């Protein structure tokens, strides 16, 4: 709508509900003037300085150690046995990323919708002999629902966080191992951001701690009568990042001709930004390092685009009930820009909602006269693919609506042959001969169906 159109509209209705307050007046800038007026904002958000110019930044881990010293909490430590690798976060602080003995905190959206995402991660771990546990005793973080609906509250989010992380702490007992053996690895970006935010509030608020302690006591999930707080909240993309060179050692398919665009997840690096990994070697430290790091290590060409910083349009609520917004934003602000500006072969993400949004919303673009076609994968799926994982058995690319086949062709993978192999394999599955990434008896650690190690013959 042009300004003239708007003015006509205004004069006809004599009312305009702008939402900007009574003092607001239209600037009536031309497109060029508007670009000049706002270009400084665009430049600023491209820089890491946007996040580092603020005061009042604290490392909540300092409070955490003090609370442990005061005898109020127990800290689940990242120990040497977890073979941690140190990385630097936004302000140059250290973060310890455990690399083995990992408890997979799954994502409901990944598992329900794009199962090749976690399967690829576990496949990579098998490739590198990483010890892990994938079990049934976990809830989702409940934060998707919370951010979408407002149902839930800080107390419920905190109780769910502490409950799941406590389970990670004790899970190894089912295998005859000691508490603390496994360290939680969070798959979902929403969970990652939510858990970090909640941890900070728990450390700050004695009142919140007191309230959730009653709940955790009722669930019998205190350690020595105290709340258990993790030393680090770790996202799977951080594990992929610190393991990127080791992963690249397993690479079987050359990816140097692939033009990659990265979509970073808002809840991974905009929420509790001080905990996100930055690396001076990766995009000069100006942008969060995860995903870009692995894609560079695998030899792809990571190409920049102007809406790198934008969200995907998921919106939590919107993807369920206002999908016009979600698909418009996903296509117009992300996918189309990546294609037109970067001539991208693929867009890589590291979060559940983003992958779903960017992948699934391309189909409707054709109907709306906005055809776009850009393969969408998670970083670990791409890594598994070029390390020789089966595109359907492991990467489960058939759940992706976007044209992953085009990407496979560029990588020299004959997807038709692989698809036929998978269809043949389904007959084996039907006959009860499916292949698993781990012993299924390990997945139940208590309750109905649980068998002790000595009973597993």
Partner 1 sequence: MGHAANGTRVQDYIGDPISDSPPVDRDELEEIFRDIQSDLRFDHELNGCLNCGICTATCPAAHYYDFSPREIVQLLWTENLEGIYDAMQEKIWSCAQCYTCAARCPFGNSPGGLIMLMREVSIKHGMQSAKDVLRPFSRVMLKLISTGNQLAPDMINADHFADWGPNISKIDAPLKLLRKAIPMPTLNTIETAWEVNLKTSVELYTIWEMTGVLDQLETIDENLFDVITDIMDEKREDWEDFVDGQGDDD
Residue list 70-129, contact with partner 1 (CB under 8 A) = 106-113, 115, 118-119, 122-123
> How far is C-alpha 338 from the chain's CA centre?
20
Residue 237 to residue 290: CA distance in whole angstroms: 6
Closer to partner 1 by Cβ: residue 10 or 254: 10
Applying CB under 8 A, among 79, 127, 131, 419 the residue interacting with partner 1 is: 419
Applying CB under 8 A, among 52, 156, 251, 301 the residue interacting with partner 1 is: 156
Stretch that binds partner 1, among 80-88, 309-317, 343-351, 380-388 (CB under 8 A): 309-317
Closer to partner 1 by Cβ: residue 113 or 246: 113
In sequence order, the β-bridge partners of residue 223 are 226
Least gap, CB of 133 to partner 1 (angstroms): 10
363 binds partner 1 (CB under 8 A): yes
Applying CB under 8 A, among 31, 32, 129, 150 the residue interacting with partner 1 is: 150
Stretch that binds partner 1, among 28-36, 71-79, 174-182, 386-394 (CB under 8 A): 386-394
Least gap, CB of 262 to partner 1 (angstroms): 16
Q: Residue 329, by phi and psi: left (phi above 0), alpha (psi -120 to 50) or beta?
A: alpha
Least gap, CB of 79 to partner 1 (angstroms): 26
306 binds partner 1 (CB under 8 A): no
181 binds partner 1 (CB under 8 A): no
CB 370 within 8 A of CB 336: yes
What is the per-residue burial (b if ≥16 Cβ within 10 Å, else e) of 8-28?
Answer: eeeeeeeeeeeeeeeeeeeee
Residue 109 to residue 117: CA distance in whole angstroms: 10
- Applying CB under 8 A, the site for partner 1 has a residue count of 126
Find the angle CA(14)-CA(19)-CA(20) to the nearest 5 degrees.
100
134 binds partner 1 (CB under 8 A): yes
Binding mask 262-291 for partner 1 (x = CB under 8 A): ----xx-xxx-x------------------
443 binds partner 1 (CB under 8 A): yes
Specify the DSSP element, H or E, that contains 321: helix 318-321
Residue 22 CB partners (closer than 8 Å, separation 6+): none
Least gap, CB of 187 to partner 1 (angstroms): 11
Least gap, CB of 108 to partner 1 (angstroms): 4
209 binds partner 1 (CB under 8 A): no
Stretch that binds partner 1, among 63-71, 236-244, 248-256, 323-331 (CB under 8 A): 323-331
Stretch that binds partner 1, among 71-79, 169-177, 243-251, 422-430 (CB under 8 A): 422-430
Applying CB under 8 A, among 81, 155, 179, 421 the residue interacting with partner 1 is: 155
Closer to partner 1 by Cβ: residue 110 or 381: 110
Q: Provide the pairing of β-strand 94-97 with 85-88.
A: antiparallel
Look at residues 356, 425, 400 and name the one whose alpha carbon lies nearest to residue 190: 356
CB 314 within 8 A of CB 132: no
426: number of Cβ within 10 Å: 12
CB 326 within 8 A of CB 299: no
Neighbour-count burial of 185, counting CB atoms closer than 10 A to its CB (0-12 exposed, 13-18 middle, 19+ buried): buried
Least gap, CB of 367 to partner 1 (angstroms): 8
31 binds partner 1 (CB under 8 A): no
CB 142 within 8 A of CB 387: no
Question: Scanning residues 159 to 178, which ones bind partner 1 (CB under 8 A)?
Answer: 159-160, 163
325 binds partner 1 (CB under 8 A): yes
CB 357 within 8 A of CB 313: yes
CB 204 within 8 A of CB 153: no
Stretch that binds partner 1, among 53-61, 68-76, 169-177, 342-350 (CB under 8 A): 53-61
Residue 454 to residue 131: CA distance in whole angstroms: 20
Residue 386 to residue 256: CA distance in whole angstroms: 11
Question: Scanning residues 210 to 229, which ones bind partner 1 (CB under 8 A)?
Answer: 214-215, 218-219, 221
């Amino acid at each position: 709508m042009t300004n003239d159109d708007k003015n006509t509209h205004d004069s006809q209705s004599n009312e305009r509900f702008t939402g900007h307050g009574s003092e607001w007046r239209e600037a009536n800038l031309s497109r060029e003037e508007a670009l000049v007026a706002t270009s400084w904002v665009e430049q600023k958000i491209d820089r890491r300085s946007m996040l580092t110019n603020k005061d009042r930044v604290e490392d909540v881990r300092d409070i955490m150690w003090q609370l442990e010293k005061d005898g109020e909490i127990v800290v689940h430590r990242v120990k040497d046995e977890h073979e941690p690798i140190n990385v630097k976060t936004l302000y140059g602080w250290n973060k310890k990323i455990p690399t083995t003995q990992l408890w997979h905190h799954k994502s409901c959206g990944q598992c329900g919708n794009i199962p090749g995402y976690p399967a690829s991660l576990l496949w990579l771990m098998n490739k590198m002999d990483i010890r892990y546990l994938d079990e049934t005793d976990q809830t989702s973080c409940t934060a998707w629902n919370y951010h979408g609906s407002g149902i839930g509250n800080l107390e419920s989010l905190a109780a769910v966080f502490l409950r799941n992380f406590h389970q990670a702490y004790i899970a190894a007992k089912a295998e005859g191992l000691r508490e603390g053996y496994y360290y939680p690895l969070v798959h979902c970006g929403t969970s990652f951001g939510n858990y970090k935010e909640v941890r900070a509030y728990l450390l700050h608020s004695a009142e919140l701690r007191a309230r959730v302690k009653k709940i955790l006591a009722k669930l019998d999930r205190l350690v020595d009568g105290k709340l258990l707080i993790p030393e680090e909240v770790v996202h799977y993309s951080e594990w992929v990042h610190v393991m990127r060179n080791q992963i690249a050692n397993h690479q079987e398919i050359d990816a140097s001709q692939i033009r990659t665009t990265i979509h970073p997840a808002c809840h991974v690096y905009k929420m509790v930004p001080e905990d996100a990994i930055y690396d001076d070697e990766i995009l000069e430290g100006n942008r969060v390092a995860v995903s870009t790091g692995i894609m560079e290590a695998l030899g792809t060409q990571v190409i920049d685009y102007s809406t790198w910083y934008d969200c995907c349009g998921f919106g939590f609520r919107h993807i369920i009930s206002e999908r016009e917004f979600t698909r418009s934003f996903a296509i117009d602000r992300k996918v189309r820009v990546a294609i037109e500006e970067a001539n991208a072969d693929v867009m890589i993400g590291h979060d559940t909602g983003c992958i779903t949004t960017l992948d699934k919303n391309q189909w409707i673009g054709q109907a709306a006269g906005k055809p776009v076609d850009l393969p969408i994968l998670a970083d670990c799926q791409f890594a598994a693919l070029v390390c020789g994982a089966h595109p359907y058995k492991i990467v489960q690319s058939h759940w992706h609506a976007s044209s992953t086949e085009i990407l496979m062709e560029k990588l020299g993978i004959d997807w038709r042959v692989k698809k036929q192999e998978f269809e043949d394999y389904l007959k084996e599955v039907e006959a009860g001969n499916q292949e698993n990434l781990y012993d299924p008896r390990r997945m139940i650690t208590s309750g109905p169906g649980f068998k002790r190690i000595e009973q597993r013959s």
